[in-house]
Structure 1
Amino acid sequence: MIADSLRSWLDYLKQSDRVATVERTVSPKFELAAVAKHLDGKKAVTFKRVEGYDMPVVVGIVANRRWIAEACQTDEYELIHKFTNAAANPLPCRHVEGHEAPVKEHVITQSIDLLKALPIPVHHEHDSGSYITAGLLIVRDPKTRKQNVAIHRLQVSGPDKLGVLLLPRHTNHLFKQAEAQGEALECAIVIGADPITMLTSQASTPFGVDELEISSALRGSPLPLVRCETVDVDVPANAEIVIEGRILPNVRAPEGPFGEFPKYYGPQSDKEVIQVSAITHRNEAMFHTIIPAGYEHLWLGGIPREASLYETIRQTVPTVKGVHMTPGGTCRYHAVVSIRKTQDGQGKNVVFAAFANSFDIKHVVVVDEDVDIFNPEEVEWAIATRFQAEGDLVLVHGTQGSKLDPSTHDGVGSKMGLDCTVPLDSEGFRYKRIRIPGYEDVSLEDYGL
């Protein structure tokens, strides 16, 4: 597999000159993020020398939608279909012993100091400190033994403590159950996982579905897992680093501000706290960080949302052809949907289905299947020539939205849909797209160009 581990994926990217290597020493405070941001979406970056550390840092390993499709051994158009199929048909993982797991080559259980052990960056000007941004937080349901995987922002708040933002989703549900019993929730934070497991960690699934089993299905072979040293959690055996710990009951501490995906800061508030009990890592381990609001951040969250959105719309309009959560809309707020229109009114039905899929979705553009939804110029052309606000606009006020959208009133705002599909009763030549015969067959090399 080209994406069996972070290392094999980096080797694959290097073969096509998609990895930049920085040899000079960089500061983990701002400088590392600043350099990586200049290459965002163009190349992954390996920082060989980070001031104060022997461990290199890698950034941007899946900062391009096409790269993610390659890692999943498909193309951009089939990516969400392959992802959806894997989510619907999880495959059990394969357990290995500790001596078989590279991530167990070094085990630290005493005198833990996160900032001495790991080159955890400070990314933005007003971030409250060093943040782990590419850590897969894994917890186990003690009743079903199923695990849940998600990415949560993690602030270093002490030598062996992390502040964690738990949104009202599955990890938070399991923690609340444990806290109600006065118990901590055991967890593991995986840093430097393979890109497929990074992607499946963001799957929108019913409670009780193990995202690591979705990774197995998407890979086409069981993901090897190993049991942690100090907690009852299984982690990818080929990961670079694992931080083990417990989310403490009835303990809260200040966390934030932190630069988030909408390119604004999430404010400071009291959040849950993780007490770290161990760190394990590979020989010559690499630390993976995600630049918040960069393409890697956006695409990892956006593609699983596309898969979920596609399935929701398909229940209402079976002829949906494709969906795209655009990077300009932070891969959360803006959706472009293409359909093969068979009945009038379907475009508006798509809009309402999209709103129902996720409260984050704010603006929806619906186009015909001849429009390339991944080409912003094509989408804008459809808006310009196939949309009239008088009859094609859907506007809904007072809806729940994202609290990280500063234009809302504490998360409450308006949503808008644009039906840019061609009317079925239109005269055929009126919307006939111009074309030059033979254009697709021209090779400029044949003309000396």
Structure 2
Amino acid sequence: MNALTMPGTAINDLRVWLDRLTQTDRIAVMRDNVPLKHGVAAIAKCLDGKQAAFFPRPDGHAIPVISGFMSRRSWIAEAMGVPESGLLEAYRRAAENPLPWREVPGTEAACQEVVHHEIDMNGLLPIPTHSEHDNGPYITAGMVIARNPVTGIQNVSINRIQVHAKDRMAILMLPRHLFAFYQAAEANGQPLPVAIVIGADPLTLLASQAITPIDHDELEIAGALHGHPLPVVKCLTNEVRVPANAEIVIEGRLLPHVREPEGPFGEFPKYYSAKENREVIQVDLVTHRKSPIYHTIVPAEMEHLLLGSIPREATLLAHLQRSFPGVKDVHLSIGGVGRYHLYVKFEKRREGEPKNVILCAFGAHYDIKQVTVVDTDVDVHDPQQVEWAVATRFQADRDLIVVAGAQGSVLDPSTTVGQETEADCLPPHKQGISAKMGLDATRPVSYHEHVFTKVRIPGEDKVDLAREIVAGATIASAMGQAS
């Protein structure tokens, strides 16, 4: 780790972060005219987790596209200014100690340097089409910000948004806070004003995914992650406040009692969600910085998965530790798409405790489908070690928990098996019904001699191979023989 990648000051501007990645050879710059349809996503996927991909003129568009600048866990920790081992604790502190944002006038807001009243979304912005069967271009890295129509407190989320007309877009809202705001507005026949922010700094993006109670503004968590109140500015057509240093802001309204087709779309479980009638955003205005940068997230790849998993991990760790101080760490596995499979490191004192931990985890977030509890000698961030613990410490007839018919993720395609209806569309109250599985892969509290002692070699963790290996040596030279 060199000076540029040492833990230090948190990053509070996207362009500062892109400069950091450029200086450390973590951005690859592409040729001009890479196609927005599939080409941008294909190249970004090939570089996933290795380098961010920068497209200066995709399809000849004047606005460049960036993707993958948060595609490694260590990069996210670096942007936060903490070591990777301190990532969850730093996020947890920020979530528990939010800082109210600081409003600035429009003259000080970079995101309002340029204003567009005439709207043609695909002409104005370089919006990619990502996967093979996606039903057109999608905004995938847009933070949707709305105010509770009753309390006025904001919510921030990232939603997939299909651009299907010059000034209209269909949006998927899961049954969370944004949807609750919309329902309250729609019940009164009112539109819900929104802003879609594209090109936020990495920590504000991360804050948008915090698991919080309703009426907790995630922009205040962003301020805590930055170490100072986040500068925000009021939109030009509504009362929503947006990050002042964002690259692009789309102002609009979620229309009441209007639904239009959206999908199919390749989602984070690495499957397509079906075409359905969804809520609609009427675009009123677009503002942006001079020479803006457009951010796209390739669905189901590392940037997408990590943005969702790290905030959830921090929340789950705090939730579990309140009831079980023996919980030392948690990890939502990438194989479980950063949502469904949770690994828990636990210091067991009594038999039966891991099963209680499993049940507590299921209640913490409905997306969780499988929980595996392991001992403290297992690294939950290493899937091979977790599998080893299951292979050697778990017996299904003794250590397995199955909960049938629970609420799960509506985006998990396995929940629809055997539930097809004549209309080929399940009603919302039947979507996402899932079984939950828990695995207690911990060793007994007491066991005979070294039956469950993990094999290790003394000093193996202190070996300095650079000191021990003779550079350029061969067997022949080591044995004093002529080559």
Query: Which range, TM-score by smaller chain?
Result: over 0.9
3-state SS of paired residue (1:353): helix
Q: Counterparts of 1:403-414 in structure 2 under 5 Å?
A: 403-409=410-416, 410-414=431-435
1:332 aligned partner:
339
1:346 is matched by which residue type in structure 2?
A: E
**Which of 94, 110, 123 is equivalent to 1:116?**
123
Alpha-carbon separation, structure 2, partners of 1:161 and 1:268: 17
CA-based RMSD of the aligned residues comes to: 1.3
Alpha-carbon separation, structure 1, partners of 2:405 and 2:255: 37
Shift of 1:2: 5.0
Alpha-carbon separation, structure 1, partners of 2:338 and 2:116: 38
Alpha-carbon separation, structure 2, partners of 1:273 and 1:407: 28
Alpha-carbon separation, structure 1, partners of 2:334 and 2:463: 32
TM-score, structure 2 normalization = 0.90
1:442 aligned partner:
463
1:247·1:272 contact (CA, 8 Å) conserved in 2? yes
1:144 aligned partner:
151
Matched, 1:343 2:364: no
Matched, 1:184 2:191: yes
Q: Are residues 214 and 428 of structure 1, via their aligned partners in 2, closer, same or farther at CA, if it must alter by over 3 Å? A: farther
2:440 aligned partner:
419
Stretch of structure 1 that moved more, 426-435 or 7-16: 426-435
Alpha-carbon separation, structure 2, partners of 1:311 and 1:438: 34
1:267 aligned partner:
274
2:139 aligned partner:
132
1:387·1:419 contact (CA, 8 Å) conserved in 2? yes
2:241 aligned partner:
234
1:28 is matched by which residue type in structure 2?
A: L
Alpha-carbon separation, structure 2, partners of 1:203 and 1:346: 28
1:60 aligned partner:
68
Alpha-carbon separation, structure 2, partners of 1:326 and 1:375: 9
Alpha-carbon separation, structure 1, partners of 2:447 and 2:459: 28
3-state SS of paired residue (1:344): coil
Matched, 1:174 2:195: no
Alpha-carbon separation, structure 2, partners of 1:428 and 1:138: 58
Alpha-carbon separation, structure 2, partners of 1:317 and 1:388: 23
Alpha-carbon separation, structure 2, partners of 1:354 and 1:77: 22
1:432 aligned partner:
453
2:243 is matched by which residue type in structure 1?
A: P
Shift of 1:368: 0.8
Alpha-carbon separation, structure 1, partners of 2:302 and 2:457: 35
Q: Which runs of 5+ in 1 are unaligned?
A: none
Q: Are residues 80 and 164 of structure 1, via their aligned partners in 2, closer, same or farther at CA, if it must alter by over 3 Å? A: same
Matched, 1:313 2:334: no
3-state SS of paired residue (2:311): helix
Aligned residues: 448
Shift of 1:52: 3.8
Alpha-carbon separation, structure 2, partners of 1:384 and 1:378: 10
2:101·2:220 contact (CA, 8 Å) conserved in 1? yes
3-state SS of paired residue (2:415): coil
Shift of 1:367: 0.5
CA displacement, residues 312-355 of structure 1 (integer Å, 9 cap, x when unaligned): 22233121000000111001110000011111111111111111
Q: Which 4+ stretches in 1 moved above 4 angstroms?
A: none
Alpha-carbon separation, structure 1, partners of 2:449 and 2:96: 40
2:354·2:373 contact (CA, 8 Å) conserved in 1? yes
Q: Counterparts of 1:14-33 in structure 2 under 5 Å?
A: 14-33=22-41
TM-score, structure 1 normalization = 0.97
Matched, 1:38 2:70: no
1:156 aligned partner:
163
1:2·1:8 contact (CA, 8 Å) conserved in 2? no
1:36·1:59 contact (CA, 8 Å) conserved in 2? yes
Alpha-carbon separation, structure 2, partners of 1:240 and 1:42: 24
1:198 is matched by which residue type in structure 2?
A: L
Alpha-carbon separation, structure 2, partners of 1:339 and 1:14: 40
Q: Counterparts of 1:32-111 in structure 2 under 5 Å?
A: 32-109=40-117, 111=118
3-state SS of paired residue (2:450): helix
Matched, 1:256 2:236: no
3-state SS of paired residue (1:329): coil
**Which of 279, 290, 307 is equivalent to 1:300?**
307
Alpha-carbon separation, structure 1, partners of 2:185 and 2:300: 32
Alpha-carbon separation, structure 2, partners of 1:420 and 1:211: 36
Alpha-carbon separation, structure 2, partners of 1:194 and 1:347: 39
2:32·2:60 contact (CA, 8 Å) conserved in 1? no
Shift of 1:71: 1.2
Q: Counterparts of 1:376-387 in structure 2 under 5 Å?
A: 376-387=383-394
Q: Which runs of 5+ in 2 are unaligned?
A: 1-8, 417-430, 472-483
1:93·1:212 contact (CA, 8 Å) conserved in 2? yes
Q: Aligned residues: percent identity?
A: 52
Matched, 1:216 2:223: yes
Alpha-carbon separation, structure 2, partners of 1:386 and 1:448: 40
3-state SS of paired residue (2:219): helix
Alpha-carbon separation, structure 2, partners of 1:404 and 1:171: 17
1:58 is matched by which residue type in structure 2?
A: I
Alpha-carbon separation, structure 2, partners of 1:17 and 1:52: 25
Alpha-carbon separation, structure 1, partners of 2:214 and 2:433: 26
Alpha-carbon separation, structure 2, partners of 1:445 and 1:307: 36
Alpha-carbon separation, structure 2, partners of 1:386 and 1:250: 54
Alpha-carbon separation, structure 1, partners of 2:440 and 2:85: 22
3-state SS of paired residue (1:41): coil
1:59·1:288 contact (CA, 8 Å) conserved in 2? yes
